[in-house]
């Protein structure tokens, strides 16, 4: 009777990683690399720890890191956010999302989310008394149905959450998408959260277009990123939000009571390592090679794929292998075939099953090859 989220269980990432461990399966489910982060980054962390940087960081984040984020943001997206008033370092993108949503959503507010979507958005909206309004992305390429978004806007719409490159589908929004969104909200008070944690993982002819590159969107957006994705350090839980001063002020009111501040030596180390620009400039090629290698392995299987445009995830359709619900199929695949993946229905509020599994290819070639061999037996 006291549960605030009675219908919410354990996250699919915990469930599938747990099942993978239990059955000693190759874990391509939860998104994280199976290779280590850059050695110099580790050395910097231990160096700062030894030097005594082990106490609270400033609430908005270590200034040096905010300054580096600012300069990088201008280099990538042509906008120089003010480190003092427009950038906040958080405990991962998860905290930034939580702080942004709780900062602006009031009881009765509607929030438009595009499904399938990352699993943390809707529960936080609901905890604020808000109402998630779900708009499905369109098959086969999971593009945005902007007419449907437009029809979903009401006088109660407070916020629209977008995610590009998109988890779990790998879809990437175009400049045209961003322009359309800007036009839709022009004469409204609607705010935007743009979840861009996979900003450096875009493939082929695709480019990442940030909400920060559109002046109209920028003035009403929380743009969120994560060092966990960019530096192969998902366990460091360090991310940030860029937002106009008036929105940042509200976000920080939440941040100061969720965690108060992010981890000091990690922020200092990342700030220094951000000078290695080649790391993130080469990341698209690094992950594109992994995507291509994984797709090559899948060619010996009966899974069907459309190459992912971004993120470190590849969707694969299994309808020629089985007609089971994707949750059942994913569990059986883990137990019997020895490969764990995420059933995409977990990203839909009503568990819509389009017979897709999501595989994470942020893995060594050896891991991906072994997974391919197992999947070929199906």
Residue 184 per-residue DSSP state: H
What size, in residues, is the chain? Answer: 378
170 interacts with ligand PMP by CB under 6 A: no
User: Pick from 27, 30, 221, 309: which binds ligand GLN (CB under 6 A)?
Assistant: 30
DSSP string, 262-323: --HHHHHHHHHHTT-HHHHHHHHHHHHHHHHHHHHHHTTSS-B----SBSSEEEEE-TTT--
Tokens of 75: 């280099």
C-beta of 18 vs 136, nearer to ligand GLN: 18
Tokens of 370: 């072994």
195 is in the binding site of which of ligand PMP, ligand GLN, none (Cβ under 5 to 8 A by kind)?
ligand PMP
226 is in the binding site of which of ligand GLN, ligand PMP, none (Cβ under 5 to 8 A by kind)?
ligand PMP
Closest separation in Å from C-beta 197 to ligand PMP: 5
291 is in the binding site of which of ligand PMP, ligand GLN, none (Cβ under 5 to 8 A by kind)?
none
Closest separation in Å from C-beta 50 to ligand PMP: 26
C-beta of 118 vs 142, nearer to ligand PMP: 118
Q: Across-strand partners of 360?
A: 313
Closest separation in Å from C-beta 126 to ligand PMP: 18
User: Pick from 31, 61, 130, 284: which binds ligand GLN (CB under 6 A)?
Assistant: 31
User: Pick from 93, 135, 201, 212: which binds ligand PMP (CB under 6 A)?
Assistant: 93
C-beta of 32 vs 48, nearer to ligand GLN: 32
256, 59 in Cβ contact below 8 A? yes
Tokens of 92: 């991962």
- H-run or E-run covering 101: helix 92-104
Closest separation in Å from C-beta 226 to ligand PMP: 3
92 is in the binding site of which of ligand PMP, ligand GLN, none (Cβ under 5 to 8 A by kind)?
ligand PMP
Closest separation in Å from C-beta 52 to ligand GLN: 32
d(CA 230, CA 249): 26
167 interacts with ligand PMP by CB under 6 A: yes
d(CA 280, CA 282): 5
255 is in the binding site of which of ligand GLN, ligand PMP, none (Cβ under 5 to 8 A by kind)?
none
226 interacts with ligand PMP by CB under 6 A: yes
d(CA 127, CA 328): 29
Closest separation in Å from C-beta 319 to ligand PMP: 25
Q: Is 89 helix (H, G, I), strand (E, B) or coil?
A: strand
Residue 31 CA, distance from chain mean position: 10
197, 93 in Cβ contact below 8 A? yes
User: Pick from 12, 26, 31, 232: which binds ligand PMP (CB under 6 A)?
Assistant: 31
The interface mask with ligand GLN, positions 139-178, x = CB under 6 A, is ----------------------------x-----------
Alpha-carbon distance values, 316 to 100, 179, 262, 308, 343 (Å): 32, 30, 36, 10, 10
**For the packed helices 92-104 and 245-258, what is the interaxial angle rounded to 10 degrees?**
110
The footprint of ligand GLN (CB under 6 A) covers 11, 13, 30-31, 167
The footprint of ligand PMP (CB under 6 A) covers 31, 92-94, 118, 163, 167, 195, 197, 226, 228, 234, 237, 239
């Amino acid at each position: 009777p006291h549960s605030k989220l009675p219908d919410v269980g354990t996250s699919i990432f915990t469930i599938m990683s747990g099942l993978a461990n239990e059955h000693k399966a190759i874990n391509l489910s939860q998104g994280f690399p199976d290779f280590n982060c850059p050695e110099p980054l580790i050395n910097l962390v231990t160096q700062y720890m030894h030097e005594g940087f082990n106490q609270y960081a400033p609430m908005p984040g270590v200034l040096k890191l905010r300054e580096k984020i600012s300069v990088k943001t201008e280099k990538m997206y042509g906008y120089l956010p003010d480190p003092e008033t427009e950038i906040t370092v958080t405990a991962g993108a998860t905290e930034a999302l939580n702080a942004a949503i709780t900062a602006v959503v009031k009881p009765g507010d509607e929030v438009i989310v595009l499904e399938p979507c990352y699993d943390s958005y809707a529960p936080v909206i609901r905890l604020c008394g808000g109402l998630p309004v779900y708009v499905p992305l369109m098959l086969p390429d999971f593009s945005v149905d902007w007419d449907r978004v437009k029809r979903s806007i009401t006088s109660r719409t407070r916020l629209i959450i977008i995610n590009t490159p998109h988890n779990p589908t790998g879809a990437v929004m175009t400049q045209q998408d961003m322009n359309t969104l800007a036009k839709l909200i022009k004469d409204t008070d609607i705010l935007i959260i743009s979840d861009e944690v996979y900003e450096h993982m875009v493939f082929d002819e695709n480019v990442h277009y940030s909400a920060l590159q559109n002046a109209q969107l920028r003035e009403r957006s929380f743009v969120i990123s994560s060092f966990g994705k960019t530096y192969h350090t998902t366990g460091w839980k360090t991310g940030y939000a860029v937002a106009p001063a008036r929105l940042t002020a509200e976000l920080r009111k939440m941040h100061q009571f969720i965690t108060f501040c992010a981890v000091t030596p990690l922020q200092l180390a990342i700030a220094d390592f951000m000078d290695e620009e080649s790391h993130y400039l080469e990341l698209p090629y690094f992950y594109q090679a992994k995507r291509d290698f994984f797709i090559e392995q899948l060619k010996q299987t009966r899974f069907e794929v459309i190459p992912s445009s971004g993120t470190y995830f590849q969707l694969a359709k299994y309808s020629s292998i089985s007609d089971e619900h994707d949750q059942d199929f994913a569990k059986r695949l883990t137990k019997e075939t020895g490969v764990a993946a995420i059933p995409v229905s977990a990203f839909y509020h009503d568990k819509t099953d389009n017979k897709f599994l999501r595989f994470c290819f942020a893995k060594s070639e050896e891991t991906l090859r072994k997974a391919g061999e197992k999947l070929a037996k199906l």
